[in-house]
Structure 1
Amino acid sequence: MPYSEHMAETMRADLGVEPGLAEKKMFGGLCFLLHGNMVCGVMRDGAMYRTGKDREDEAIVAGARPLAFTGRKMGGMVEIDTGAFEDAALRATLTEFSLANAASLPPK
């Protein structure tokens, strides 16, 4: 099953209009990039956010869990399931962390 287009539209709205923002199909889902650096994305069972290692613990306390695609934790990345995705405040927090992280990286 592909990613939810409804979730992708919600994520687009959460991100707003940001210069340098782009979309790319990756990992069987849809990722959003800022100047070539991944910010977040939607996948079949939820969403992922690249908060950066410095904000990862805060994101987990807020309600996310560490991202582990292959059973191995990917540092600086968190995920939420479709139920948690309905929490607008959680999405706003994770989006803020992830946009700040991507903006701190050199453009690709």
Structure 2
Amino acid sequence: MSYDEDLANRLREALAAEQGITEQRMFGGLAFLVNGNMSVSASRSGGLLVRVDPKEADKLVGADVEPMVMGGRQMTGWLHVAPQAVTTKRQLTPWVRRSVGYARSLPAKKR
């Protein structure tokens, strides 16, 4: 399954005013990077992958939000948000802001 093009377009719209954003296909999804650091992604399995402060991740897990697991291993500081939890701009925007804010707190990656 490929990523949701509509969600990718909605992410582009949410990130339009941000500086230093690049797109990159990764792991079958479409990732948005902030100064070279992966921030948020339209997941190939549907929904959203968001990078958050690892100290806050457990508090954000809920009915439609779970820790991201890749290759059988839980990825610290990464969450998968179910498609039904990001259907509106009001639902999507806080996740984008949180992930961009955290990615901006990291040192920029050199290219």
Match of 2:53 in 1: 52
| Whole-angstrom distance in 1 between the partners of 2:91 and 2:16 | 16
**Percent sequence identity over aligned pairs:** 33
- Give the structure with the higher percent helix: 1
1:70 and 1:42, CA in 2 relative to 1: closer, same or farther beyond 3 A?
same
What's the TM-score once normalised by structure 1's chain length? 0.88
The corresponding residue for 2:17 is 17
Question: Partner of 2:75: helix, strand, or coil?
Answer: coil
Q: How many residues align?
A: 108
Match of 2:84 in 1: 83
Compare 26-35 and 47-56 and name the one that shifted more: 47-56
Structure 1 residue 6 displacement after superposition: 0.6
Q: Is there any run of 5+ residues in structure 1 with no aligned partner, and where? A: none
Provide the aligned C-alpha RMSD in A: 1.8
Report if the CA contact (8 A) 2:20-2:34 is conserved.
yes
Partner of 2:98: 97
- CA offset digits 1:4-39 (Å, max 9, x no partner): 111100111122321111000101110000000011
2:71 is matched with which residue? Answer: 70
27-36 or 76-85, larger mean C-alpha shift? 76-85
TM-score normalised by the chain length of structure 2: 0.85
